[in-house]
Structure 1
Amino acid sequence: MKIFARKDEGDWTDLGGGNRRRILLHTDELMMVEFAFDEGGVGAPHSHPHVQASYVAEGRFEVTVGDRTNVLSAGDSFIVPSNVVHGVVALEEGRLVDSFTPHRADFLA
């Protein structure tokens, strides 16, 4: 099991539209993933059974979780309960670090 991750490790997956992700670490119970967005990049509204906690590492994002929308900047964070529709718009180039429980098996496929 990988215990430590370095900032220059891991392969980026191009998600299109100026968005990409890389898996930092994971176990069966927990996964940490970094997402990078170009300005104007959209994380389209979606839901999943995983609980998600997200940290804004860089940039500014308009974040919608359920019926709530807020603009968050570097250092801010948000949580998404299981099966709640959520999405983001990058108001400037930025990065999110998301944690999921349990891990996102679909990201490993």
Structure 2
Amino acid sequence: MKKSIPLKEGSVLITKQMIGTDGTAFPTHSASHESALVMTEGSCELSFPDAVHILNTGDTFIVPADVVHQIVGTPNFSAVHIMPKDIRFNFDV
């Protein structure tokens, strides 16, 4: 299972809770702006074309703009994704 749940919205930023269980992968994509992923529980694998990062509870990762990536729970995780309101995602990668 994977879920992205809206949390709060400010004048510039929005936050979403990301939940992944059983090693389910979120879709491969890129985004128009950088964002921050703050791990709140568990662990996940954040894969880029040239590197793979394992994130654990308490870790924060700045995801660069315009770089294809994918997130997979190892096996389960919960995180807060902080991003600009005008971010656009491209899933056709």
TM-score (norm 2): 0.82
The answer on whether the counterparts of 1:39 and 1:94 sit within 8 Å (CA) in structure 2 is no
Q: Higher strand proportion, which one?
A: 2
Structure 1 unmatched runs, 5+ = 1-17
The answer on whether the counterparts of 1:31 and 1:104 sit within 8 Å (CA) in structure 2 is no
The answer on whether the counterparts of 2:31 and 2:88 sit within 8 Å (CA) in structure 1 is no
Q: Which has the higher contact order (CA 8 A, sep 6+)?
A: 2
- Between structure 1 and structure 2, the one with the greater Rg is 1
Structure 2 unmatched runs, 5+ = none
Change in 2 beyond 3 A, CA 1:65/1:102: farther
Shift of 1:74: 0.5
Q: Which residue, 44, 67, 80 being the options, matches 2:50? A: 67
After TM superposition, the structure 1 = structure 2 runs for residues 36-47 of structure 1, keeping only pairs within 5 Å, are: 36-47=19-30
Q: Runs in 1 of length 4+ with deviation above 6 angstroms? A: none
The answer on whether the counterparts of 1:41 and 1:90 sit within 8 Å (CA) in structure 2 is yes
Q: Secondary structure at the match of 2:8?
A: strand
Q: Secondary structure at the match of 1:83?
A: coil
Shift of 1:70: 1.4
Q: Which residue, 4, 26, 35 being the options, matches 2:9? A: 26
Mapped pair 1:77 → 2:60: yes
